[in-house]
Amino acid sequence: MTDRPTLLINTTIATMIAADVPYGLIEDAAIVMEQEKIVWVGARADLPPQYGLSETHDLEGRLVTPALIDCHTHLVSGGNRAREFEMRLEGASYEEIARAGGGIVSTVKATRTTSEDDLLSDALRRVDALIAEGVAVIEIKSGYGLDQDTELKMLRVARRIADERPMSVHTTFLGAHAVPPEFKGRADAYIDDVCIPALKAAHAQGLVDAVDGFCEGIAFDTTQIARVFDVAKELGLPVKLHAEQLSNLGGAKLAASYGALSADHIEYLDQDGVAAMASAGTVAVILPGAFYTLRETQVPPIDLLRKHNIPMALATDANPGSSPLTSLLLTMNMACTLFRLTPEEALAGATRNAALALGLDQQGTLTPGSRADFAVWDVIHPAELAYRIGFNPLHTRIFGGKIEDA
Ligand code: NIG
Ligand code: FE
């Protein structure tokens, strides 16, 4: 990157700015970036003359979109759960495995005993898979430690990813993910004695950008989640929630009452929850990878979300149990095929609305003033991104104005 502005020409751009034109598409477009920011976007014919002397890159007709954003992941974890995959194929359900001490708790054991460096190198392989598909921003949750030391270790690993790779990382404290074995049957004590103190310690060390929980029969009820959210509020941290994934406990409504950034999964979300999310401006994060892996049959209420103009984001939910998925492009395809999202909704879900789910207003669209994070694709039309299965047409990734080859 030079100090001179950089001009990208000979491209079609999907600005993803919500407007009358599908995808905010501009043909024969140009983009000017300076330092880490976009300074001008539009039809090439309208390019202001002062940018004529910029360092110019010919994109040879390729499509530019905002870089992708994966707004819900559990990318840092120890071990894997291939054995559980086998058990599920032999007939056991996700809930049965969890109740028998498998599931999240088995990843907790592995994460506690894996060193910080090993967790990092393992996570980087998954991060690299996302980078290869044009992802520039990821959210990473803790929640496989369930003791203070390991929760903090996971969050430090998440922060280190941004030093190791050209990637922006947003961390989320998910201490209320499951009850650890040493607190079996004592969920309230776990929340008070471990989860809340660990949240305060992680926050004091600058390791937390947001707070999440798992509101479900196999995890925590709304009263327990509310206690964690009260502390988040005291600390000035935004909240989000794994809600209504396997049943309806009213988690989304609770989250909305705290002004949550997002309610995630939401297969069992009802009219009441949708209305609460709409009035709080809470984003719906759709996670088709977990739906697919667990062979769920209850589809999130997409039409209701549309009717209430609730922004829908998409994410991989990358985790070793319910969604061992590290492809956001495949996630987009699944959202269309399984949940009937349009390819435009899918791309908005992995860009503009994913940014909203992270509380970012300077990312996820191609707008002057936004960060210059783009993906350059070898496709003609943006619908191709969600249409193909297992194909990666990324040509170049641009991160903070810096051009990388894919
Ligand atoms: O988002 N729903 C809860 N948490 C994860 C699953 C984690 C696991 O099974 O390890 C999820 O699907
Ligand atoms: Fe999750």
Supply the Cα-derived Rg of the chain in whole angstroms. 21
**Per-residue pLDDT, 357:** 98
The confidence score (pLDDT) of residue 180 equals 95
What average pLDDT is seen over the chain? 96
Ligand 1 centroid – CA 128 distance (Å): 21
Phi and psi, residue 10, nearest 5°: 60, 55
Q: Does the Cβ of 73 fall within 6 Å of ligand 1? A: no
> Among the listed ranges 144-148, 192-196, 258-262, 358-362, which one has the minimum average pLDDT value?
358-362
Assign residue 11 a region (left: φ > 0; alpha: ψ between -120 and 50; beta: otherwise).
beta
Ligand 1 contacts CB of residue 180 (under 6 A): no
| Phi, psi torsion values for 141, nearest 5 degrees | -100, 150
Would the CB of 242 count as within 6 Å of ligand 1?
Answer: yes
DSSP 76-90: --SS--HHHHHHHHT
Mean pLDDT across 369-376: 97
Q: For 345-393, list the strands marked E by DSSP.
A: 374-377
- Give the model confidence (pLDDT) of 56-100 as tens digits: 999 999 999 999 999 999 999 999 999 899 998 999 988 888 877
308 is in an annotated binding site: no
- Residue 193 DSSP class: I
CA–CA separation, 350 and 329 (whole Å): 9
How far is the centre of ligand 2, averaged over its atoms, from the C-alpha of 184 (Å)?
21
Give the ipTM.
Answer: 0.93
- Can you tell me which atom of ligand 1 is nearest the CA of 144? 10
Predicted local confidence at residue 200, as pLDDT: 98
CA 376–ligand 2 middle distance (angstroms):
29
Q: What is the pLDDT confidence band of residue 52, given thresholds at 50, 70 and 90?
A: confident
Distance (Å, whole) CA 48 – CA 234: 48
- Report the Cα 244 to chain-centroid distance in Å: 18
User: What's the longest Cα–Cα distance across the chain?
Assistant: 69
Locate all alpha helices (DSSP H) within 183-268, ordered by sequence: 187-190, 196-204, 222-235, 251-257
Q: Of ligand 1's atoms, which has the minimum distance to the CA of residue 104?
A: 10
Ligand 1 close to Cβ of residue 147 (< 6 A): no
Distance CA 258, CA 260 (A): 5
Residue 80 annotated in ligand binding: no
pLDDT digit string, tens, across residues 23-33: 999 999 999 99
Helix (H) / strand (E) element for 38: namely: strand 37-43
Per-residue model confidence (pLDDT) at position 1: 45
